[in-house]
């Protein structure tokens, strides 16, 4: 049996302290701050979380329909090393209630108010799917709030009869599916059919989001507000569209966005679907980082 001297014990203690200090420092850089709520002037409650170092460039991530701030978990893992990340739950999603009419105009007003109150300098704004529609509306109204704009397969409508019928059909399918689920496993089986590239953990994350959103989000004609609105002048803020090979955004819409955003860059990520923020989060994070830098 080895007898430990006081000197040996002292060295072991110092090594342990040093090891724990490194862990604490490493975690503090990327850990989530206390979850918080912002209360808007319209009594809308917005849940948000923060990751990363306050001294780094600020990014606000906005998720899509039937998602939540957790939709960005895998991207946050990469970006929070070099950026201060804020993620929110849209009204009626995650931990945010639904007090406003669920349409692009009201959603954009609430988030614009959140940005004005929360951030003192222009931020990098990232929007996925419906989140892309929302950031387009925000930038159209208040371009000075952002330093860079990044669309992740944004959802836009041509407001045609076909678009309207497709949205109504989707709303019926989603309502029927959600109302038929008895247990979380029912939702997971639904998600499994959407992409073969998802892990079990991702399926459960997306499935839980589908379980928790407020079904009333389908009761308003949000589809009619997803047109690409013209701005008075071309928007010169650096702008990026990342799209999967199987994308929601049409070429005609990219052309219109290119006319609106004078420095728009478009990049496609091969072998992906609309679920690409889960399928290739590291690739998306790398492209976002390269674009910003």
What CATH homologous superfamily does 17-292 map to?
Alpha/Beta hydrolase fold, catalytic domain (3.40.50.1820)
Q: Range with the lowest mean pLDDT among 34-48, 77-91, 120-134, 276-290? A: 34-48
Q: Per residue, what are the HEC states of the chain?
A: CCCCCHHHHHHHHHHHHHHHHHHHHHHHHHCECCCEEEECCCCCEEEEEEECCCCCCEEEEECCCCCCHHHHHHHHHHHCCCCEEEEECCCCCCCCCCCCCCCHHHHHHHHHHHHHHHCCCCEEEEEECHHHHHHHHHHHHCHHHEEEEEEECCCCCCCCHHHHHHHHHHHHHHHHHHHHCCCHHHHHHHHHCCCCCCCHHHHHHHHHHHHHCCHHHHCCCHHHHCCCCCCCCCECCCEEEEEECCCCCCHHHHHHHHHHECCEEEEEECCCCCCHHHHCHHHHHHHHHHHHC
Token readout for 271 is 């072998």
The CA dihedral of 69, 71, 76, 78, to the nearest 10 degrees, is 180
Average pLDDT, the chain: 87
CA distance 136 to 127: 9
Residue 287 CB: number of other CB atoms within 10 A? Answer: 18
* 38: Cα within 13 Å, side-chain hemisphere: 22
Residue 281 has pLDDT above 90, yes or no: yes
The CA dihedral of 54, 57, 58, 61, to the nearest 10 degrees, is -120
pLDDT of 291 reads 97
**With bands split at pLDDT 50, 70 and 90, how would you rate the model's confidence at 18?**
very low
Q: Range with the lowest mean pLDDT among 12-16, 71-75, 119-123? A: 12-16
pLDDT of 188 reads 94
pLDDT of 96 reads 97
CA distance 38 to 136: 22
Write phi, then psi, for 99 (nearest 5 degrees).
-110, -20
pLDDT of 271 reads 94
pLDDT of 85 reads 97
**Residue ranges per structural domain of the chain:** 17-292
Mean pLDDT for 193-214 is 93
Mean pLDDT for 57-80 is 97
Mean pLDDT for 195-218 is 93
Residue 1 has pLDDT above 50, yes or no: no
pLDDT of 223 reads 79
Mean pLDDT for 152-171 is 84
CA dist 51 → 48, 59, 117, 172, 225 (Å): 10, 10, 18, 37, 32
Mean pLDDT for 87-114 is 96
**With bands split at pLDDT 50, 70 and 90, how would you rate the model's confidence at 292?**
very high
Percent of the chain with pLDDT over 70: 88
Token readout for 18 is 């040093």
> Using one digit for the tens of pLDDT, what is the confidence trace for 219-241?
877 877 888 888 888 999 999 99
Residue 34 has pLDDT above 50, yes or no: yes
Percent of the chain with pLDDT over 90: 69
- Which has the higher per-residue pLDDT, 128 or 13? 128
* Chain Cα centroid distance, residue 219: 23
Residue 7 has pLDDT above 70, yes or no: no
Mean pLDDT for 263-269 is 96
Residue 24 has pLDDT above 70, yes or no: no
Mean pLDDT for 152-181 is 86
pLDDT of 187 reads 93
CA distance 152 to 249: 10
pLDDT of 28 reads 38
* CA proximity to 287, closest of 147, 178, 189, 150: 150
CA distance 146 to 238: 9
pLDDT of 163 reads 79
- Which has the higher per-residue pLDDT, 72 or 12? 72
């Amino acid at each position: 049996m080895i007898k430990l001297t006081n000197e040996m014990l002292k060295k072991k203690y110092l090594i342990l302290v040093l090891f724990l200090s490194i862990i604490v420092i490493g975690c503090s850089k990327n850990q989530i701050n206390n979850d918080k709520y912002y209360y808007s002037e319209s009594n809308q409650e917005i849940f948000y979380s923060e990751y990363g170092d306050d001294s780094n460039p600020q990014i606000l991530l906005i998720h899509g329909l039937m998602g939540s701030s957790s939709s960005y978990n895998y991207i946050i893992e990469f970006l929070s090393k070099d950026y201060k990340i804020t993620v929110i739950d849209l009204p009626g999603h995650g931990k945010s209630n639904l007090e406003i009419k669920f349409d692009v105009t009201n959603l954009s007003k609430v988030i614009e108010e959140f940005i004005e109150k929360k951030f003192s300098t222009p931020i990098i704004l990232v929007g996925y799917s419906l989140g892309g529609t929302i950031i387009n509306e925000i930038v159209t109204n208040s371009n000075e709030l952002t330093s860079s704009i990044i669309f992740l397969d944004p959802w836009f409508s041509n407001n045609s009869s076909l678009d309207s019928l497709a949205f109504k059909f989707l709303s019926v399918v989603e309502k029927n599916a959600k109302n038929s689920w008895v247990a979380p496993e029912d939702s997971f089986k639904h998600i499994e059919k959407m992409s073969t590239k998802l892990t079990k953990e991702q399926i459960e994350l997306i499935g839980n989001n589908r379980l928790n959103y407020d079904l009333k989000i389908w009761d308003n004609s949000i589809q009619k507000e997803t047109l690409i609105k013209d701005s008075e002048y071309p928007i010169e803020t650096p702008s990026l569209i990342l799209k999967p090979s199987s994308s929601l955004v049409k070429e005609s819409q990219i052309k219109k966005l290119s006319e609106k955003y004078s420095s728009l860059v478009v990049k496609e990520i091969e072998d992906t679907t609309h679920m690409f923020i889960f399928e290739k989060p590291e690739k998306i994070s790398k492209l976002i980082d390269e674009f910003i830098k």
